[in-house]
Structure 1
Amino acid sequence: MNAVIRAAGQADAAQACNLLCRSISECCAEDHRNDSAILAAWLGNKTPENVASWFACASHHSLVACDGSDVTGVAIMTRQGRIVLFYIAPEVRSTGTAKALLGALETQAREWGLRALQVASTLTARGFYERNGFDYCGPARTAFGTDAVALAKKLPGSGCGCGRRS
């Protein structure tokens, strides 16, 4: 894996948007079932302007994985520990890029004193999260009309959330 994980910036929005659209279209067929209406709804808000606004949001921690000047992964987590966006480029699947990106989110969550992470995962990504310590919490549904799964991970060494280490 050659990816460098860093904070996402406004200049990354166009590449990140392209990556999101490719990852959803090419990797998440199990979820959208090649249904053009579901795919259109899922991709509808994936514009460079929206991605830039998500990156700029003060209540988000936004990261990109880069291989040279290419954005190969993107992740956004809220200050409450909810992973709201997490995608990698199809060509870097199984290279460790996603694991490194998730590790960077976990590090930030621990720095914030969070005790757990949560995600409403695609069916496609469920195995990835479970291999990385997330537990199944139940079924979920996305706004785009797809089934999802709620998953959570307790963060070791995260303390009680009061600012002191336990």
Structure 2
Amino acid sequence: MSLEIRIAASTDAEAACNVLRRSIRECCELDHKNDPAILDAWLGNKTPQMVANWFSSPTNFSLVAVSEGVVVGVALLTGAGKLALCYLLPEARGQGAGKALLARMEEQACSWGVKALQLHSTATGKDFFAQRGYTDAGMVRSPYGVETVFYWKQLDEDTTCPNAPKRKRFCNCNSD
């Protein structure tokens, strides 16, 4: 699979919306249990127009994963250091797109000076994030009625953020 990770454009909104909706419906059954009320609530804001708005927000950083000309993944990072989206088409799982999106999001967070990333994971995604160094901080109920795992990850300057500008340490001590 040839894979390109690039900044999402408003023209990607419809394809990215398809990724979100299919991933939630087809990959997150452990979470929604095919409950129509939960699905309606979860999918309610997953429209092309809303996704385009998310992509165009100056406080968000959005990426798409593209394989063979098809958008197969989408991720969104807020300026506050929250990974708000990280979804793949069902057929794209296990092929490296999720890892690539997450790595690029961590790089972006580092470039913004974010010290730790946080996210709410589905039951489906929790092993993925745990395997990439995210710490399980407990369960949190989502607004759409799903129990999620609150994860966070300290962004280490030396390993996670090797290309981030190094900050000078300030010491107000007397070295006599």
Report how far residue 162 of structure 1 moved.
9.8
Structure 2's unaligned 5+ residue stretches are: 170-176
Deviation at 1:89, TM superposition (A): 0.7
Aligned to 1:44: 44
Please give the residue correspondences for 1:55-66 in structure 2 after superposition, counting only pairs within 5 Å: 55-66=55-66
The count of residues paired between Structure 1 and Structure 2 equals 165
Provide closer, same or farther for how the CA distance between residues 153 and 71 of structure 1 changes in structure 2, counting only shifts above 3 A: same
User: Equivalent residue for 1:151?
Assistant: 151
Structure 1: 5+ residue runs without aligned partners? none
- 1:108-119 matches, within 5 Å, as 108-119=108-119
Is residue 129 of structure 2 the alignment partner of residue 126 of structure 1?
no
CA contact (8 A) 1:113 1:163 kept: no
In structure 2, what is the Cα distance between the partners aligned to 1:45 and 1:80? 21
Q: Deviation of residue 165 (structure 1)?
A: 5.8
- Work out the CA distance in 2 between the residues paired with 1:60 and 1:152: 18
Deviation at 1:164, TM superposition (A): 1.5
Q: Deviations over 1:85-110 (max 9, x none)?
A: 11011001111110000000001111
Match of 2:30 in 1: 30
Which letter does structure 1 place at the counterpart of 2:141? R
Moved segments of 4+, more than 4 Å: none
* 8 Å CA contact 1:5, 1:63 repeated in 2: yes
Q: Which residue of 1 aligns with 2:4?
A: 4
Residues 1:165 and 1:127: Cα distance change in structure 2 (over 3 Å):
farther
Aligned residue identity for 2:29: A
Letter of the 1:81 counterpart: G
Contact kept, 8 Å, 1:141 with 1:148, in 2: the verdict is: yes
Aligned residues with identical type, % of pairs: 45
Equivalent position SS for 1:30? helix
TM-score by structure 2 length?
A: 0.89
1:35-79 deviation per Cα after TM superposition (whole angstroms, max 9, x unaligned): 111111111111100000000000000000001321010000111
Root-mean-square deviation (CA), in Å? 1.8
Instruction: Please report the TM-score for the alignment, with normalisation by the length of structure 1.
Output: 0.94
Partner amino acid, structure 2, of 1:35: D
The answer to whether structure 1 residue 164 and structure 2 residue 167 are counterparts is: yes
Instruction: Tell me the equivalent position of 1:104.
Output: 104
Pair member with larger Rg: 2
**Distance between the aligned counterparts of 2:108 and 2:165, measured in 1?**
16
Deviation at 1:120, TM superposition (A): 0.9
